[in-house]
Amino acid sequence: LPHHDLQAALTMELSTRQSPHHLIIVLISTLIIQHFAAVNSIGVNYGTLGDNLPPPAQVAAFLKDKTVIDSVKIFDTNPDILRAFANTGISVTVTVPNGDVPGLANIRVARRWVDAHIKPFYPQTKINFILMGSELLHWGDANMISHLVPAMQTLHHALVRAGMKGIKVTTAHSLGILASSNPPSAARFRPGLDRQVLAPMLQFLRKTKSPFMVNPYPYFGYSPKDANFVLFRRNRGKRDRFTGIVYTNMYDSLMDSVYSAMKSLGYGDVGIAVGETGWPSLGEPWLTHCTVENARWHNLNVFKKANSGVGTPLMPHRRFETYIFALFNENQKPGSVAEKNFGLFRPDFSPVYDIGIMRGGQHGGHVTPRPTPVAVGGKKWCVPKAEASDAALQANIDYACSKGVDCRPVQAGGACFNPSTVRSHASYVMNTFYQTNGRQDYNCDFGHTGVITTVDPSYGACKYI
């Protein structure tokens, strides 16, 4: 039975059989149903810097009907988006532009802002947070920073006065607010921000029961020697010399660093939320860690952690409201190729990879690839795309060979050594990786440099498996 039908059936049964023993059974069953209805949800950052993105109404319907995403965070107060999410049950976090922050320290400005940007949509649209700026302590000037906490306080008062005390006010921080994060137990906020800005902010958040929001990105701490630690893979771990705790992933380490810094100011009891974290599925050729598989594995583990209730070594059994960055690949986002490719979905709603967020779909974290033609006889091979660069293909060779692919045939004297070109060698190695890892289409992605073919690429003595 669907959740609501099963709940109704249990309620009817309860009304007809009232023995204490049966009451206990039904109540336990109800709690179990509620538990499973509550788990496996996640938030996502919904950016709009693309010329090919679907309209907000389609996005809202897709998230509601097809995914377990239960909250979105936007970087403005876009009225089209706020209207689109009305009556969907999906929570929306909105953001005040950094430049508007100083003015909102004035109560009259704050009240007008609430009347213009929140009142027309709330409560039909379930606005849960208003973020006062975005990483303002990193990007803002001295005037913005000095007005940040007063603006948060004033906006809160304006919301309460308007009868909207259920909307919490906070702000999101990059981890640049930390003076250091290693070891986690010794982490502290930057001098100049700690007592002057962050202590009064944390006091306000404690008073209003709002979370301290941070944007931990293990991606930005990536190095080849720490790849497994950054990507939640098996590794020896890193020991905190003061606590003896061995951290097995960077994500927990960063979160505990934030906690330690908060605790050092006397605010370890204030909740923490994750405003952004993610991993790009594609980057420049030299960014060989920007792959579909790495993005999938990172975000799958973030998704599992957000729903597990395990917490971190210093914050056991705590849940953190979490927003993955980002919903879509955004082709007009300024910056690098990687910046444009953080999305969980393409603009046509097809998943770049699957981390278990699709309703009724696979929940094991496997990629959901675009359909490819079925080969005659069922045989398919993986070869480089025509536009793939030699640098990218060499990176594919290095990656596949490091994962246990038998690369001897493309070495000197091997059956596939000639022609001795990067493209020819990559073709053989990429296909071998694809064939020996289950022939799933995502194993031929290689950062969008591989393509499935139904034409056997074997030649002469070089036989492709």
Q: List the catalytic residues.
A: 135, 276
DSSP SS3 for 146: helix
With the C-alpha atoms ordered 245, 250, 253, 257, is the resulting torsion angle positive or negative? positive
Computed over its alpha carbons, how large is the radius of gyration of the chain? Answer: 25
Around Cβ 307, how many Cβ atoms within 10 Å?
17
Query: Which residues, at least 6 apart from 133, have a Cβ–Cβ distance to it below 8 Å?
Result: 95, 96, 97, 98, 101, 140, 144, 148, 171
What span, in angstroms and rounded, lies between the C-alpha atoms of 284 and 289? 10
CA dihedral of residues 137, 300, 387, 380 (deg, nearest 10): 180
Q: What angle do CA 9, 13, 15 make, to 5 degrees?
A: 120
238 to 105, 183, 250, 278, 336: CA distances (angstroms)? 43, 9, 9, 22, 31
Query: Which residues, at least 6 apart from 380, have a Cβ–Cβ distance to it below 8 Å?
Result: 372, 374, 439, 452, 453, 454
